[in-house]
Structure 1
Amino acid sequence: REIDERLIYNEPGRTITLEAKERKKTGSVLEITAGTADIPVAEEAAVTASISGAHVERVYDAGVAGIHRLLAHNDKIQGARCIVAVAGMEGALPSVVGGLAPCPVIAVPTSVGYGSHLGGLAPMLTMLNSCAPNITVVNIDNGFGAGFSAAMINGGVKRET
């Protein structure tokens, strides 16, 4: 049922937003997922960054198992002000992106996948031990924290009075 026609529901990201007035989107936040199972967390981050004023682009299913899919988007990686890299399994994507990117990378481990990812602990430990110096790690499945931080890095979150 419809409650308010101004509400926007993003089913993959499990978010509901209400923007009282249209806001100009600036900068460039790039959301990258390793696999399709990571999309819900990435969408939560994308929606959060967008309603905070960031222009958001998405590259989904570009994990290191098919590195050609990631490298096909190198132009977007080079042009971003901030990148949110979301990955489960072994969590290798943020380190690879960090090696390519000239900007901060926010790594988000997810609790999805198969194998012994231990509910997101394995990818989180991989991300925390990355040798790429431009990576910051948020907690498991923390799309909101990643999106808000990305918006701050992108150009700040403007407070409305």
Structure 2
Amino acid sequence: MTESKPGWVPPTAGGDRRQTWPGSVPSVGSWEPERPGAARRAPVSTPVRPALTAIRPFFREAHRVRPAMVAAGAGVTVLWFLITMLLAVDLTSTLWVILVASVFAAGAASVLARYGDRGAATGIAAVAGTASAVVGAVVEWHAFVGGAWILW
């Protein structure tokens, strides 16, 4: 077991403790702390591997979601729900009106997400989902506590 493999330095041999595999090429782009007084080498460039000094590309989203547009979409949707709730006369009709308004708002959000402002679509979808969740909670409350299915 004391035979040495080419390219491998046993831990007890001292010196450089990094291990390399046989036939491996030292990595050019690895991070190594600079030593004081050490000369810097030029980057290695091959047709397959371009020079590592090139600036890395950074990608930006084409249509970013802006917080102001999320708030605007949420505000308009809250106004939409308040106006549509004026059509209801009792709790059952209010829940149905909110559910229908949520479906229309979700449709508007999907159209805006595809063709318009995704920030506004995010605000609309958040408010529509919250309204649907509130309707679900009210229906469950009446079903479990009151014993009546309120939507019929």
**Short-chain TM bin:** under 0.3
- What TM-score do the two structures reach when normalised by structure 1? 0.20
> Larger RCO: Structure 1 or Structure 2 (Cα < 8 Å, ≥ 6 residues apart)?
1
Higher helix share: 2
